[in-house]
Amino acid sequence: MREDACVGCGQRQLNSPAEGKVIRVASAGERKKMNNGEVAAVLADIARLLELEGDDAFRIRAYRKAAQSVEDLDGDVNEYYREGRLREIPGVGESIARAVAELVSTGRSGTHEALKKEAPPELSAVIEVPGIGRRTALKVHKALGATTIEEFRRAARSHRIRKVRGLGERTEQNILASIDRHLARQEEVRVPIDRARAVARDLMGYLSGCEGLARADVVGSLRRWKALVADVNVLAAADDPEAVVDCFCRSPLCRTVRERDGRHARVTTRHRIDATLDVARPEDYGFHMVWATGSREHLDGLCERAKGRGVRLGEGGYVVEATGERRPFATEPELYAALGLEYVPPELREGAGEVTAARQGTLPGLIEPGDIRGDLHVHTAWSDGSGTIQEMAMAARAMGYEYLAVCDHSRSLHIAHGLSVERLRDQMTEIDEVNDTLEGFTVLKGSEVDILADGSLDLPDDVLADLDIVVGSVHTQMRQEADVITRRVLRALENDYLTVLAHPTARILGGREPMALDMDRTIAAAREHGKVLEVNAYPDRLDLSDAHVRKAMDAGAMIAIDTDAHSAAELCFMEYGVHNARRGWATKARTLNTLSCDALREFLDRR
Ligand SMILES: [Zn+2]
Ligand SMILES: [Zn+2]
């Protein structure tokens, strides 16, 4: 898969493989013009702060309405200002027009600044903690200067809140309990990787316009491609960290600032996902990349390794024990090399044996997105997809693929317009016709055949025999007991015509628990019968999971990374599948759809 190939959904790598990409540096003195969204964000923030202060409800509504109008505006708000037409924007009266004029001409708003001084944005995060309340928060803030959730917690723990006029011991205990509950709940919130990546993309786009920024990279669990992530973490390099932190906190994407200091900030974005920014010095950027990427278990492994070499590794950097000398690392590979280790790709940094392997030089040669030569499981408008066969084929070819297997649903899956035998035969005819028009690209005839409750397949053998590839899946009676469902899937794996077992556990992240399938037995059977286990790349499936891919690799089984795309745009989900497979140490040699079309045909003909 070529990296620039996903025309349909505009996916791009956020970071380059080993090191971050350098992004545009704004030239000194260049002030970025505020766009509609940014002006709207300030107006909305004024409304929020007025509300905090308990201001007149009419005034609050006016700002909120104006913010909405500016956001929905067809033209550029700067044009409206230049032409003296600000009052023409619905909901913009005299005083708001003045505020907007000030914003677009100077980039600041006196009203906004004054309000922020009264009630800093961090305070909103405190007020949002259920059980604290606006009035109490303001009282504590004014009396003790506490602003962030952490400061409120400290104030409560050191019994300073009970001494504030009008508050007492009970209020103090309430605040503490509310904060603890709130933080515990936040720990549990995880979002699917595609949503987090969309936020990261917007954030990186915005940051690239921040003055003085030398580079920025997505780090944390998102860089490790975990299926579910808690927040978006960004690392930046700049000589003036404070200016970049300031720019980050002023992003229209940011709803509330939760913490900030000269080098770090945590905000809650408008998408309700938290985002953090850390700013490092360029000469020690590599160390911070490793540190901010994690995981904790991986870092523990590195610290252990460092200790054995007389080096103290920690928050404070890389310090040689004997001399106390602190060594900076501009790039990640330099740090790994200093520890006598091979470079460890981010997806492997989970404390699952990668440090030992890096020391022994036995890290796997991981599959790369560019190794993928085709997609073996997609749907068309013949069943529940939206594209025609031709459209899907053209999109796949534009991605640099050699083949695409059309696997629409089989007859018993009525809910997804499963194909009757007759319609399946009609579809095969259409595939022949499409193939006649394509050069250097092959559409394979396939079917996503339902594995029925007893483990038999939903199509008779003579029909299966006419297909190029058969993908089998469980879509019904998924709550069968472990032994029943395992025997059901094992029976399907014994069918000579089945090649791929699709989305093996049928899990939906955040939606449906995995089936009780015994994965060890399933993997062993797949290996025994020469069957292939799918890594379904749909971002809320990622099934096989990373842990199951690792088991499959350890057992010597084959995988196929397929998107299960229901439209041409979804072919781009491939990257989620590839990176998820990399988390399971998957190699190119054990991934079916890295084969050339001829080699694939040979493999399929062997059944
Ligand atoms: Zn399916
Ligand atoms: Zn499917």
77 Cα: distance to centroid of ligand 2 (angstroms): 46
Phi, psi values for residue 267, rounded to 5° = -125, 160
Task: Return the H-helix or E-strand segment holding 319.
Answer: strand 317-320
73 Cα: distance to centroid of ligand 2 (angstroms): 41
Q: What is the pLDDT of residue 415?
A: 84
Three-class DSSP category at 404: strand
Sheet of 213-219: strand order equals 213-219, 231-238, 274-280, 264-269, 254-260
User: Structure pTM?
Assistant: 0.76
Q: What is the pLDDT of residue 184?
A: 75
224 Cα: distance to centroid of ligand 1 (angstroms): 27
Task: Return the H-helix or E-strand segment holding 405.
Answer: strand 403-409
What are the tens digits of pLDDT across the range 70-111?
988 989 999 999 999 999 998 899 999 999 999 999 988 999
Q: What is the pLDDT of residue 28?
A: 38
Q: Which ligand has the shortest distance to the CA of 450? A: 1
What are the tens digits of pLDDT across the range 316-361?
899 999 999 999 999 999 999 999 999 999 999 999 999 999 999 9
599 Cα: distance to centroid of ligand 1 (angstroms): 26
Among the residues of 517-587, which ranges form H helices? Answer: 519-529, 546-555, 574-583
Q: What is the pLDDT of residue 208?
A: 94
Which residues sit with Cβ closer than 5 angstroms to ligand 2, an ion? 448, 564
436 Cα: distance to centroid of ligand 2 (angstroms): 25
pLDDT less than 50: residues of the chain: 1-12, 16-30
Q: Report which residue type is found at 301.
A: G
Q: What is the pLDDT of residue 13?
A: 55
460 Cα: distance to centroid of ligand 1 (angstroms): 19
421 Cα: distance to centroid of ligand 2 (angstroms): 18
What are the structure tokens assigned to 141, written together? 């803030």
Q: Which ligand has the shortest distance to the CA of 570? A: 2
605 Cα: distance to centroid of ligand 2 (angstroms): 23
Q: What is the pLDDT of residue 30?
A: 47
Q: What is the pLDDT of residue 50?
A: 86
State the Cα–Cα distance between residues 354 and 344, nearest whole angstrom.
Answer: 7
108 Cα: distance to centroid of ligand 1 (angstroms): 52
330 Cα: distance to centroid of ligand 1 (angstroms): 46
Q: What is the pLDDT of residue 16?
A: 47
Which of 362, 312, 295, 305 has the alpha carbon at shortest distance from 336? Answer: 305
Q: What is the pLDDT of residue 26?
A: 35
4 Cα: distance to centroid of ligand 1 (angstroms): 28
457 Cα: distance to centroid of ligand 2 (angstroms): 15
409 Cα: distance to centroid of ligand 1 (angstroms): 8
